[in-house]
Structure 1
Amino acid sequence: DVVAKVAPELPEILGDGYRAAFLAYAGSRPMSGGYRRDALNFAEHVLITGGPADPAARRRLTYWWQDRSGSRPPRRATRLVRAARAVLVGK
C-alpha cells in the first residue's frame, strides 16, 4: 500500500480499520494528483463521514489533515508547539 508508505501516520491513527476503509474509499474514486493528494483526500473523506469513532483518533486525524492540507506546511515552531501540547495534554 503506497499511501501507507507516503502517509504512515494514517494506519497508525486509524488502526486495524485502515486497510478496509482505504480499499472501500479507493474502490469508488480514481486517484488524481498523486499518492500524497490521495492520502489527504482519504483522510478528509474519513473525517467528513464521521470517522474515526474514537475521539482521540479523530483529533489526531484532524490535526494530521490540517497540517498537510494547507497551501504550505506548518513551520517548525508550529509543529513543536503542537507536539508539546499533545504530550502535555496526553493526547
Structure 2
Amino acid sequence: MSSYISQVPATSLRQRMIDDMNMRRYARETQRNYVRDVARFATYLGRPPDTATAEDLRQFQIDQRASGMGVRKRPALGVLRGPSLFAREGR
C-alpha cells in the first residue's frame, strides 16, 4: 500500500474501500488517488462520503469545475456512482 494510504488512520469505511480495491486489483496509484479524492469529497461534504446523495456529488463536481479544475484533474469520483466501493451494508 502506498505511504499515503498507510499513514492515514483507517476508519472501517476507508478500510473497506481499500479492501474492495485490492480485491478488484486496482493499481496502487489508482488506490492512492481514490482515497485522496474521496477524502477531499468528505471534507467538502462535512460528513462521511457514504451518506452522500447523487446531488451532493453533482454539486461537488460543479464546484470543482468552477474553481478551475479541468476535466482531467477532477477527482476520480465515478467510484461513488452505481454500486459504491464504500456503500453501507444493508443499504
Q: TM over 0.5: same fold?
A: no
Structure number with greater CO (CA < 8 Å, separation at least 6) is 2
For normalisation by structure 2, the TM-score amounts to 0.31
For normalisation by structure 1, the TM-score amounts to 0.31
